[in-house]
């Protein structure tokens, strides 16, 4: 596989490699995609300090995340239904994370079961919990994750209902996804324009099930799985669940989907070890804040007591620099690795990680900062607001 020039290049190539319905499931946001765009714009609003003449060969990218050593401060965010993109899905992510010395979070909505993923991931792995099958179902998932060796439990709180993803609606896709004849027939013409993707998908037996919807070894029952997914929205997790799960879970407890410092404070009071500043990649509440915009207030509120991770719109080494300079311990990526997965499976995921982390190493040298652990407010300044009469091409 040809290496990626950038994450933007990975996205461009994924757009060609995937049927448009699958690309849009990955690439799309909610409503007018304002939140998704704000994630990117928030990065553009800051500049990185440049110190010259500093002598060092290679910046030290290593750090830790709640005690887990990381080769670089970039981890994998949990994404559901990766099997639509490539049948290896989460297994590819697990292998790349292990090989590259980073941590990965895996979704309840994974295509592969958490037990299968655990076997593929020799590095640190966290399980992201949705209440599939209600509270009783969630308790079973937590027990399974513990047995399988996941050391972190990630409770995503921003998904009480699915966001309004209009690109999916335009393709006739709704959640929980159904493998009904009508949908397949409607999408068939565009699927057939991507014979490599289609061949892989057919050979793998149409991997669009949720691997966690049944106990390991039990026969897959699609109707039951779909009822369980529907049940998830009848009892989405709230703060009392965080409290209850804190008592039950001995490992790292992570609350994901926080933008407001009051929620960050609440998570910490209830015993969270890590807070993920996230708006779900702009796929949930329309017109929410960009995550980098939300980060400083969250760090000011809880940064002394817990580690903060940021996700949403991280596409360049300088984005990582900015998030860390504003107090994040690490960043997580979602779409970038899904683009890579769509282009080249496991190799593609690795190529995305490389292009981002090599970029970070280069940017650290150019900025003159020898270690990611030294990044602080000194390394970043707010850009002046662009003058509104400037041509937009000059602003980009």
Residues within the interface to ligand FNR (CB under 6 A): 25-26, 39, 77-80, 107, 109, 128, 156, 256, 278, 280-281, 283, 311-314, 333-336, 338
Contacts of 95 (CB under 8 A, 6+ apart): 120, 121, 346
Please list, residue by residue across 36-48, b when 16 or more beta carbons sit within 10 angstroms of its beta carbon and e when fewer do.
Answer: bebbbebbbbbeb
Which long-range contacts does 213-216 make (Cβ < 8 Å, 24+ apart)?
Answer: 213/132, 213/133, 215/140, 215/144, 216/113, 216/115, 216/144
Shortest spacing between CB 158 and ligand FNR, in angstroms: 8
Residue nearest to ligand FNR (CB): 334
Residue (177 or 333) nearer to ligand FNR, CB? 333
Do the beta carbons of residue 71 and residue 102 sit within 8 Å?
yes
Instruction: Pick the catalytic residue from 112, 171, 194, 280.
Output: 280
Closer to ligand FNR by Cβ: residue 145 or 369: 145
**Is residue 307 a contact partner of residue 66, using CB atoms and an 8 Å limit?**
yes
Q: How far is CA 179 from CA 42, 187, 222, in A?
A: 38, 11, 9
Q: Give the β-pairing of 104-107 and 63-65.
A: unpaired
Task: Tell me how far, at minimum, the Cβ of 215 lies from ligand FNR, in Å.
Answer: 20
CA–CA separation, 31 vs 41, rounded Å?
A: 17
> Given CA atoms 193, 197, 200, 202 in this order, what sign does their dihedral have?
negative
Q: Which run of H or E residues covers position 76?
A: strand 74-76
CB 333 within 8 A of CB 62: no
Give the nearest distance from C-beta 20 to ligand FNR in angstroms: 15
Q: Considering the complex, what minimum distance in angstroms separates the CB of residue 54 from ligand FNR?
A: 30
Measured from the CB atom, the residue of 173 and 369 that comes closer to ligand FNR is 173
* CA angle, residues 96, 229, 147, in degrees to nearest 5: 50
Q: Which residue lies nearer to ligand FNR by CB, 165 or 194?
A: 165
| Other C-beta atoms lying within 10 Å of the C-beta of residue 20 | 17
Task: Please answer whether residues 101 and 107 qualify as being in contact, where contact means their C-beta atoms are separated by less than 8 angstroms.
Answer: no
Q: Could you tell me the smallest distance in angstroms from the CB atom of residue 57 to ligand FNR?
A: 30
Q: Which is nearer to ligand FNR, 127 or 379 (CB)?
A: 127
Q: Least distance in Å: CB of 79 to ligand FNR?
A: 4
Of 113 and 156, CB closest to ligand FNR: 156
- Active-site residue, 112 included: no
Catalytic residues: 280
């Amino acid at each position: 596989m040809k290496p990626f020039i950038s994450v933007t290049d990975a996205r461009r190539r994924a757009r060609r490699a995937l049927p448009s319905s699958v690309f849009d499931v990955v690439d799309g946001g909610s409503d007018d995609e304002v939140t998704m765009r704000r994630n990117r714009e928030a990065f553009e609003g800051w500049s990185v300090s440049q110190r010259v003449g500093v002598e060092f060969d290679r910046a030290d990218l290593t750090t830790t995340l709640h005690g887990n050593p990381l080769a670089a401060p970039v981890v994998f965010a949990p994404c559901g239904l990766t099997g639509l993109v490539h049948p290896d899905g989460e297994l590819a992510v697990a292998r790349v994370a292990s090989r590259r010395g980073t941590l990965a979070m895996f979704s309840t909505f994974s295509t592969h079961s958490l037990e299968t993923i655990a076997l593929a991931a020799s590095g640190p792995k966290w399980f992201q919990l949705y209440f599939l099958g209600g509270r009783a179902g969630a308790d079973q998932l937590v027990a399974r994750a513990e047995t399988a060796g996941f050391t972190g439990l990630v409770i995503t709180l921003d998904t009480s209902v699915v966001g309004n993803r209009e690109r999916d609606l335009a393709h006739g896709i709704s959640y929980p996804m159904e493998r009904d004849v009508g949908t397949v027939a409607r999408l068939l013409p565009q699927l057939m324009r991507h014979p490599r993707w289609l061949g892989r998908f057919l050979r793998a037996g149409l991997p669009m099930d949720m691997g966690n919807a049944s106990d390991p070894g039990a026969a897959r029952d699609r109707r039951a799985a779909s009822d369980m997914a529907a049940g998830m929205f009848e009892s989405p997790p709230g703060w009392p669940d965080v409290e209850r799960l804190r008592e039950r879970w001995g490992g790292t407890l992570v609350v994901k989907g926080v933008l407001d410092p009051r929620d960050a404070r609440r998570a910490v009071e209830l015993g969270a070890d890590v807070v993920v500043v996230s708006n779900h990649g702009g796929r949930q509440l329309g017109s929410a804040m960009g995550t980098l915009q939300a980060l400083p207030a969250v760090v000011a509120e809880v940064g002394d007591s817990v580690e903060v991770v940021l996700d949403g719109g991280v596409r360049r080494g300088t984005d990582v620099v900015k998030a860390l300079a504003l107090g994040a311990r690490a960043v997580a990526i979602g779409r970038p690795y899904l683009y890579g997965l769509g282009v080249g499976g496991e190799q593609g995921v690795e190529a995305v990680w490389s292009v981002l982390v090599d970029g970070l190493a280069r940017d650290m040298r150019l900025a003159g900062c020898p270690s990611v652990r030294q990044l602080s407010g000194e390394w970043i300044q707010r850009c002046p607001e662009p003058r509104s009469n400037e041509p937009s091409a000059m602003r980009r």
